Amino acid sequence: MFRCTDVSKRFGATQAVAGVSLEVPAGQVLALMGENGAGKSTFMAMIAGEVVPDEGELAVDGHVLRGTPADSRGAGVAIVHQELSLFPNLTVGENITLGRTPRNRIGLTDHRASKVQARAALDRVGFDIDPDRPVADLGAAERQLVEVAKAIATTPKLLILDEPTSSLEQGEVQLLHRAVQRLTDEGTAVVFVSHRLDEVFQFSDLIAVMRTGALVAAGPKAEWDEDRLIQTMVGREIQQLYPPRGAEAPRGGIAALELDGITGGGVHDITLRVEAGRIVGVSGLEGHGQHTVAELATGVRSPDAGTIRVAGQDTRLRDPRGALKAGIAYVPPNRREAGLFLPLSIRDNLATAAQRRLHPRGVVSPGRESRAIDPVIERLHLRYSSTFQRVADLSGGNQQKVLFGRWLLAGDLRVLVLDDPTRGVDVGARAEIYRLLRELTDDGMGVLLVSTDMLELLGLADEIHVMYEGRITGTVDGADATEESIMALASGRAAA
């Protein structure tokens, strides 16, 4: 059983967690919900022993946590982090047994026993993978399952799952679900964070909602439904997650960006047009080449064959810089690793792509910068304490908004290419991002939206290309598309 009483934590001016008291009985699953920035991450970091609370007390089965990772782990806390924490330079088995590798008589690793242990842990998740495979070779979903196997290798008293399903497919989610059930049967308490509402209702026994650091509501699942949950999280009613599609945007004419028979990097014969004013979606299950399409369209990768046309002109995109010169900006899927400069301020992050425009003579003028940046920040609805705040301290949704803001400042953009822009972003920030995208297209920009979130594409895109095994298997109109029709194409069951 896990209990915390009156726990608070403040970072500078931000009250991250305010007086949270909570109890999770043994064998129960608590879904901890809240928008990004609501304090969930800080709260879980306290359980993990990575953050020491200013006030209050956390206890697992009566053992009061002292605020170090080793102490929390010793007390029986196991964590599956949102940012995966496996070591890619070690194998699956070595990662699972790390820190308690079985040894032989002279102190060297006992590989046989080690493999047996690793395999047992993987079996508990029902994941069949060779423990000798280096983690570096695994995909995101496989890593996630290994991470889970590692966390439950020793039956923990409290298991924390921080968005454990963000890169899993349906079948893998079921694996995880069954593994968690086995644990709860053995008496493990589980705290579970997810942004997928359907999962929350499927997985959990209790639901608790945090908002701006405080616990605003908690209770058994039966007391909740999706509407109440969303309203409680956001603190206001979201009338509409997706902005209305614009008037039928003009088709035909010259496309802002056109891929014609593009082949390379595992995708074949990709042909699509992104017209000004339209949001063109690319859908597909994880690993069917849709990310590669985004990279090919933005100069991150060079195609082996085919033509790219920008505003009707044949263009060779050598690198992202060249693409930007042609008016194509790219928002990569992994904002923490590949998009933002985390230690730098909001201002600096926003200004990076527009340095030359803001400071044509090469000398930085803070006034000029403010005049350009402030309206953009306004437009983004950023939640921040100062524009000099480090981006690392912002929540995921706000980080994503900063990344967009960079391109709002850059100017002269024809096409914005986004790859999974709302992964791990909460409902409220999502709605704002969607509205922003629609505003951009209304201003005449074209958007190529690659996403693994089918509902997002259904709600937002004017046209959806569906990929299967590196090829576009069909194209559906955004307004008429259904989950079923996309799924049929994405799983290679039908051709449009």
Partner 1 sequence: MSAVLGATTRANLKPTIPIWIVTILAVVVAFAVSTPFRTGTNASSLLLGMAPLLLVAAGQGIVILTGGIDLSVGSVVSLATVITASSLGDGSGTLNVALVVVAGVVIGTANGVGVAAGINPLVMTLATMGIVKGGALLIMDSPGGTVPASLLEGLTWSFGSVPLTFLISLGVVVVAWLLTSETRFGHTLYAVGHSGIGARRAALRTNRTLIVAYALSGLLASLGGLVLVGRVFSGDPLIGDAFSLDSITAVLLGGIAVVGGRGALLGIIPGVLLLALVDNLLNLAGVFSYYQYITKGMILIVALALYNAAGGELKIGGVRLLPGRGSKPDAGAPA
- Residue 52 contacts partner 1 per CB under 8 A: no
Q: What is the smallest separation between the CB atom of 316 and partner 1, expressed in angstroms? A: 12
CB-nearer residue toward partner 1: 188 or 232: 188
| DSSP, residue by residue, 148-210 | HHHHTSS--SEEEEESTTTT--HHHHHHHHHHHHHHHHTT-EEEEE-S-HHHHHHH-SEEEEE
- Residue 250 contacts partner 1 per CB under 8 A: no
Judged by CB under 8 A, the stretch of 82-90, 182-190, 452-460, 463-471 that binds partner 1 is: 82-90
Give the strand order in the sheet containing 257-264.
Answer: 267-274, 257-264, 305-310, 313-314
| Token pair 């595992």: residue | 266
One of 12, 52, 109, 181 touching partner 1 (CB under 8 A) = 109
* 15 class by beta-carbon count within 10 Å (0-12 exposed, 13-18 middle, 19+ buried): middle
Q: What is the smallest separation between the CB atom of 241 and partner 1, expressed in angstroms? A: 28
x/- mask, partner 1, residues 85-104, rule CB under 8 A, reads: x-xxxxx-xx---xxxx-x-
Judged by CB under 8 A, the stretch of 20-28, 132-140, 162-170, 360-368 that binds partner 1 is: 132-140
Q: In whole angstroms, what is the distance from residue 72 CA to residue 368 CA?
A: 49
- Residue 360 contacts partner 1 per CB under 8 A: no
Residue 304 C-beta-side C-alpha neighbours within 13 Å: 8
- Residue 363 contacts partner 1 per CB under 8 A: no
Rounded to the nearest angstrom, the gap between the alpha carbon of residue 299 and the centroid of all alpha carbons in its chain is 23
Q: Are strands 446-450 and 279-283 parallel, antiparallel or unpaired?
A: parallel
If DSSP codes are grouped into helix, strand and coil, which group holds residue 451?
Answer: coil
CB-nearer residue toward partner 1: 24 or 77: 77
- Residue 154 contacts partner 1 per CB under 8 A: no
Q: Interface residues for partner 1 in 282-301 (CB under 8 A)? A: 295, 298-301
Q: What is the smallest separation between the CB atom of 233 and partner 1, expressed in angstroms? A: 27
- Residue 320 contacts partner 1 per CB under 8 A: yes
Q: Are strands 305-310 and 267-274 parallel, antiparallel or unpaired?
A: unpaired
CB-nearer residue toward partner 1: 64 or 98: 98
Rounded to the nearest angstrom, the gap between the alpha carbon of residue 80 and the centroid of all alpha carbons in its chain is 15
Binding site for partner 1 (CB under 8 A): 48-50, 69-70, 72-74, 81, 85, 87-91, 93-94, 98-101, 103, 107-109, 111-112, 114, 132-134, 265, 295, 298-301, 318-321, 323-324, 329-330, 332, 334, 337-341, 352-353
